Structure 1
Amino acid sequence: MARVSVTVWLLVCALCGLSGFWVSRRRPRTGEPATFAAFRLAGRAAPALRTGLNRDSARRSVRHLRCLLGTASLVVTSTDQVLAGAGDGRPGDAEALAGARAVAASGRPYLADGVVAVPLVVDGRVVGALLACDAEVTGGLVRTVAEVGRWVSGQLELAELEVSRRRAVDAETRALRAQISPHFVYNSLTTIASFVRTDPERARELLVDFADFTRYSLRRARDFTTLADELTCVDRYLLLERARFGDRLRFSVQVAPEVLAVPVPFLCLQPLVENAIKHGMPGEVRVVIRDAGPEAHISIEDDGVGMEPARVRDVLGDDHEGGIGLSNVDSRLRQIYGQDYGLVVETAPGKGTRIRLRVPKYRPEPSPL
């Protein structure tokens, strides 16, 4: 979050600083302040840049960046190829790449006849260059191109952060699967084996339930599924656990039909139900999902032994062995929806445990944090 704030601050400083230079070269629309015009152009370039530095993002942003600078032309390069250009009098590819290599080697602006080249830097690495071309290269132009280069670098860093965030979410999903698979697979297969001779029909039904559960939980990771699919997974899981524990496990599921299509993070309910069974046996597990206007409110409750508050903090901590299911769900909810959307755990010794979570009905668009 700090890196994002620094980037926003750099944007404000850069745009306010260059607006005076920009207005001296290009008259803004009637009644449109120069600073607002600069922000408008930067805002048009930002979405493309936040996908990373490539031909498509360069092509979609270069025209807006050239208008922002007010130069005759602008070229965007990686370290080894020209990605896009806009305007008249652009240098040839060989000349542009020479400028890009010069700034990559030094990390500083490069000046040639009518050309200002500045580096694009992501995480301390030069990944490309901006080359602004104009009839006259002044000190003001050099400073302005350098500021825009820093702003573009900030957008590219945000793109890198988004990639890292998605990799972290995928890693957490893989970790969650690893936590489910060893214990549950062994216990389920052992339970099914116990019915093979005494009740073959029951064994066949449980095998189908087991196949459905594993097909869902071990499929290729996706960020979102629906509450209906998550509940189907929970239903199969509960049937298998009921076969294992018999009458010692009781459960009920109440769902408002209006929320079945709500998009939710993949594998966000089953770990909470598993936790309720683990700490609530013997006893009853209740899953209640209500329609709450713009949100779906979900509650997983057991009437088991409960926990001390310090134990809850330990279970939700990243370093708690065996608590990866809860900590994984909690961290993913906060990453996706914001810090206000983590798990809420209500418990006390001898009072059972209730885990509550809220899920917005919309599916959030990917963002650079």
Structure 2
Amino acid sequence: MVGLLPLMLERVGILLIVAILLSRLKSFRNIVYHEHGYKEKTRLILIFGAFGVISNYTGVEIRGGSWISPQAWQTWIGTDGAIANTRIMGVVIGGLLGGPLVGTGVGIIAGFHRFTLGGFTALSCGLSSVLAGIVTGYIGKRIRIWEKRALWQAVAIGIFMECAQMGIILLAARPFEAALALVEVIALPMIAVNGFGTLLFMLIIQSILREESRTRALQTQQAFSIADETLPFFRQGLNPESCREAAEVILKWTNADAISITDRHRVMAHIGEGADHHIPLQSISTLLTRQVLESGKTGEAASRGQIQCSRPDCVLQAAIVLPLKVKEETVGTLKLYFKRPSKLDRAERQLAEGLGKLFSTQLELAEAEKQRKLLKDAEIKALQAQVHPHFLFNAFNTISSLCRTDPEKARTLLIQLSVFFRSNLQGARQIVIPLYKELEHVKAYLAIEKARFPDKYTLDMDIDPALEPIGVPPFTLQPLVENALKYAFPARSHAGRAQIVLRAYREGDRLVLVAEDNGRGIPAELLAALGSRTVESLEGTGTALYNIRKRIDEIYGAKGEFRIESRPGTGTTVTIRLPIHHSQWEDSHAESFNRG
């Protein structure tokens, strides 16, 4: 028994050397980490089945229950002989890694080979191998092999399976006396060595898994870093400037030797090797790129010929071409070029494919943002363009009457009507206008209303002159004044009682607009709804207030404020607070307003 232990350690050392060499092979590491389909399972069966065969060949022959053969390679065992080996170790690891199918397959290969070698324990050892594969395969489905505790679970399973083999030998091998003598010699060394070998083998497997996990984590971090840096550029869409900036970022973070980005027709940018002849804004010439644009699937080139470069001395010899999609439609490609095909390995492929999906998402978000802004502009301008037809008819009737009684006043009103409608047209084209323009709109409206109802109300303005150039949404104050005249003072029987006050002042970095009246106020049951939605009442629908609040929300978001305060019998106050500097809209529309 004591003499058998170092020989067994020597045999398990051979298998571990093979395992270490395999662990350095990329193909083996991929199988261990990505074992999913039948192809990978078949490879695992063949690999660990080979471990079982090698274990049989390198086993230590035992004859007569005690004599240990010094022969290093076992090709045939006599009828009174048996083998002490590490076969169960390979079966256990295969079953734990691959599940029932792999475990059973490895057990059958190792067990059948052991049976062909002969000896009085051939059948019992063959059966125990198959049983070990089946049992460990089903156990392997419940063990997370990458966890630390799985290491000791595997050792315990290996020891248990070896003990089970000893039991099967005692039950099935004959004569029993020879089987008992054999077990007394081989049991402890085989149990100890197989448990120790399983421990070391599991350490190798877990190191592969940990290294792969670290690689994945680094790739994920790398992908997110690239996505974060390229986001501002891809949000601008596919244009030469944004693509060039994005390509420089991608080249910095990847192992590629050159980066190209195209739309459906032209090369938008090319950074890195080959930039002297891969010229931006040229038409797409490579068949591979056109195929990717048409199919929407990733394409690869493993030679200069497949890249189809026009320069025969081009250093780029491999490429991966990824589709960039918006709403399932391919709008361009991302191409990673390499000077050596070997640099385009699995890690680079995975990173490139992940980047292609991330960039497609960025482009789709950019398109959605663009459409959202266009829709918002359209909604705002539709709200601004509302003109009440009856106001126009009343104005014409008033001017028509004055043409006979007071032609000069009729002329003045025509000018004010012209100002009013010019303000309507300008407001319908702009998101914000200077405050003084909105005040002109109010004055034009009031001039026409005063002509219809002279001495029925007063208007006081308290406007800080420094605030008059500040941008405000058009149709903000004029509808408030119109609302007050229509609904705050419905019965115009007391001349001079109706009073409207407009104020504009600065409050920190915000412009405050206030419209007050001393009218009859708003009933409490309507006050909460006004501004947030339209309402149905005898006095009106609240559409004007709703439109003002909606435009403020659309333009300024949480930075804008719209508030209505009212008490029946005392009047109503509408307060609007707007940020003085709001570049999102003001900067983009100030120039066009000045041109207008």
Same fold by TM-score, threshold 0.5 exceeded?
A: yes
- Which ranges in structure 1 are unaligned for 5 or more consecutive residues? 1-15, 23-33
Structure 1 partner of 2:312:
none
**TM-score of the two chains, using structure 2 as the length reference:** 0.51
Distance 1:128 1:69 in 2: 20
Task: Give SS of 1:223's match.
Answer: coil
The residue correspondences of 1:117-156 to structure 2 (distance < 5 A) are 117-134=321-338, 135=340, 136-156=343-363
Letter in 1 for 2:480: L
Matched, 1:259 2:444: no
Instruction: Give the conservation status (yes or no) of the 8 Å contact 2:324–2:334.
Output: yes
- Give the alignment of 1:296-307 within 5 angstroms: 296-307=511-522
Change (3 A) 1:18 1:107: farther
Conservation of the 8 A alpha-carbon contact between 1:226 and 1:264: yes
- 2:494 maps to 1:290: no
Moved more, 332-341 or 308-317: 308-317
- What letter corresponds to residue 162 of structure 1 in structure 2? E
Larger helix share, 1 or 2: 2
What does the per-residue CA deviation read over 1:47-104, in whole Å, with 9 as the maximum and x for residues that have no partner? 3322222334323432223323342111111223322221114796777664444444
Q: Which has the greater radius of gyration?
A: 2
Cα distance between partner residues in 2 of 1:97 and 1:337: 48
Q: Deviations over 1:285-314 (max 9, x none)?
A: 221111112111111122223334553455
1:271 maps to which residue? Answer: 479
The residue aligned with 2:374 is: 167
Q: Which residue of 1 aligns with 2:78?
A: none
Report percent identity of matched pairs: 31
Q: Alignment partner of 1:288: what SS?
A: strand
Letter in 1 for 2:531: L
1:336 to 548, 555, 561: 555
The answer to whether residue 435 in structure 2 is matched with residue 250 in structure 1 is no
Structure 1 residue 107: deviation in Å? 3.7
Whichever residue aligns with residue 118 of structure 1, its letter is L
Distance 2:571 2:323 in 1: 59
Letter in 1 for 2:518: D
1:20 is matched with which residue: 211, 214, 218?
Answer: 218
**Aligned positions of 1:53-64 closer than 5 A:** 53-64=238-249
Q: 1:305 is matched by which residue type in structure 2?
A: R
1:1-369 paired onto structure 2 within 5 Å: 20-21=218-219, 39=225, 45-89=230-274, 98-113=287-302, 114-134=318-338, 135=340, 136-219=343-426, 221-281=429-489, 282=492, 283-312=498-527, 314-317=529-532, 323-365=542-584
CA pair 320-178 structure 1, distance change in 2 beyond 3 A: farther
Asked if structure 2 preserves the Cα contact closer than 8 Å seen for 1:107 and 1:119, the reply is yes
**Residues 296-305 or 182-191, more deviating:** 182-191
The question of whether the paired residues in 2 share the 8 Å contact of 1:79 and 1:97 is answered with no
Q: Which residue of 2 aligns with 1:29?
A: none
Distance in 2 between residues matched to 1:156 and 1:19, nearest whole Å: 25
Greater share of strand: 1
Measured in 2, the distance between the counterparts of 1:284 and 1:55 equals 59
Judge conservation of contact 1:276–1:300 (CA < 8 Å) in 2.
no
> 2:409 & 2:432 partners in 1: Cα distance?
33
Q: 2-side partners of 1:43 and 1:66: how far apart?
A: 14
* TM-aligned CA deviation for residue 146 of structure 1: 2.6
Alignment deviations for residues 203-242 of structure 1 (CA, whole Å, 9 cap, x no partner): 1111111111211221361222211222222222222222
Deviation, 1:108, is 3.7
Q: Which amino acid aligns with 2:336?
A: A
Q: Distance in 1 between matches of 2:353 and 2:525?
A: 52
Structure 2 unaligned residues grouped into runs of 5+ = 1-213, 303-317, 493-497, 588-596
Structure 1 residues 138 and 233 mapped into 2: Cα distance closer, same or farther (>3 Å)?
same
TM-score between both structures, scaled by the size of structure 1: 0.79
Instruction: Tell me if structure 2 keeps the 8 A contact 1:179–1:324.
Output: no
| CA deviation profile, 1:110-168 (whole Å, cap 9, x unmatched) | 32322222222223433222111123212222222233233323332343233223322
Inter-partner Cα distance in structure 2 for 1:364 and 1:218: 23
Q: Alignment RMSD, CA only?
A: 3.3
In 2: Cα distance, 1:45 partner to 1:119 partner:
17
TM-superposed CA distance for 1:170, in Å, is 2.9
Contact 2:561 2:578 in 1 (8 A): no
> What SS does the aligned partner of 1:261 have?
coil
Question: Is the CA contact 1:77–1:83 (under 8 Å) kept in the aligned structure 2?
Answer: yes
- C-alpha distance in 2 between matches for 1:214 and 1:146: 56
How far apart are the structure 2 equivalents of 1:216 and 1:96?
A: 53
Rounded Cα–Cα distance in structure 2 between residues aligned with 1:267 and 1:159: 31
Aligned length: 339
The answer for the alignment partner of 1:3 in structure 2 is: none
Which whole-Å CA distance do the structure 2 matches of 1:333 and 1:86 have between them?
Answer: 44
Task: Please tell me the residue identity of whatever aligns with 1:166.
Answer: K
